[in-house]
Copies of this chain bind each other. A is one copy, B any other.
Amino acid sequence: MTAPRLKTVVLGAGGLVGGELLRLLSMHPQVEAITAVSKSQAGVRAHEVHRSLLHLPDIELVDLPYKDAAQGADVVFCTLPHGESRMQMDQILSARPRCIIDLAADFRIRDSGQFEQAYGTHQCPQLLKEFIYGLPEAFAHLIRQSRLIANPGCFATAVQLLLLPLADKKLLADNIAVFGVTGSSGAGVTLTPATHHPFRDGNLFAYKMLAHQHEAEINQTISEVAGEPRRVRLLAHSGPFVRGIHATAYFNENRLAKTNVEQIYREYYKNHPFIMILNRPPQVAEVALTNYVHLHILQKGSEVEIALALDNLVKGAAGQAMQNMNLVFGLDETAGLTFPGAFPC
């Protein structure tokens, strides 16, 4: 059987995640065509907007109605701003592409009540249940059979991968908090005071305290995997680096004293090619530019500290979206995604 040749479309190709998708799709061996749609930057060569594309084949940013762009496509990656996806989804669906992978938060929460609590009114709540949450390390079996994928948030990916194995073993306590630090690229291409270089360089600060929007999707997954309601707090911080997320959790529970937690993680992730369990603390810079996730589990009796690092634009967004594409189309899960990092970088 010959491998499929995929026609891909990226909506919102002018953003950082859009650019990252263009970069990764350009190197994917099964991708035959890339249509890059951008309303704001139409007519411009993609590499003028995304310098990451200077050494890859030329792509033009075009302004097409989303329906036209999606017509005949194998995959439509939707990297529109949060709130915009749900407004456009009817149009995109009407073109009947074989698969839609939405990278906004708009379809990540299946329960419309919970969605509204986190994000406000939804324009097409009936669609929420149609989308599968695209975290391959939890839901690969469902993703393979789906055509509508809601790609996880970057911080949400980190926190879920940090907790999944414990949840799966029903060893995760309720109401825990995870500490996380993100690089500035997580804020996207939009200029903000928090990403103004004079204010961000040499700085670190908490943000969205007790109110990070990714908690909703984290709680949904963790509760489902655990088989019991679980609520997780993400204590989010902004750090003075560009790429990467670091997340840390701490547990101190008697029932853990009797388990080898690292073994649980190794078992859970044994068939997941992008998860690497190290025997030393992971570093943000060593996963930068890759789809890999590095984990370290340190246990002393009933106490466990787990640290994780990933690249927010790759495993936290565009890379994971392509991983989902691979699963949907029956490709090797790692196709086009095994590129290594570089260190120092």
Contact = CB atoms under 8 A, between A and B. Distances in A.
Contacts of A202: 183, 201-202, 241-244, 284-285, 288, 345
Contacts of A242: 197-198, 201-202, 344-345
A246 interface: yes
Interface stretch (A70-78, A84-92, A99-107, A203-211): A203-211
A214 interface: no
A112 interface: no
A66 interface: no
Contacts of A294: 54
A297 to B, nearest CB: 9
B281 A209 contact: yes
Contacts of A183: 198, 202
A117 to B, nearest CB: 14
Contacts of A195: 196-198
Given A52-B345, A177-B252, A210-B300, 12 more contacts: A23-B340, A51-B283, A52-B342, A185-B198, A197-B200, A202-B285, A204-B309, A206-B248, A206-B281, A209-B305, A210-B298, A210-B303
A342 to B, nearest CB: 5
Contact of A345 (B192, B193, B204, B288): B288
Contacts of A191: 191-193, 196
B210 A344 contact: no
B237 A246 contact: yes
A282 interface: yes
A93 B212 CA distance: 51
Interface string A233-251: 1010101111110101010
A205 B282 contact: yes
B201 A51 contact: no
A248 B210 CA distance: 12
B54 A276 contact: yes
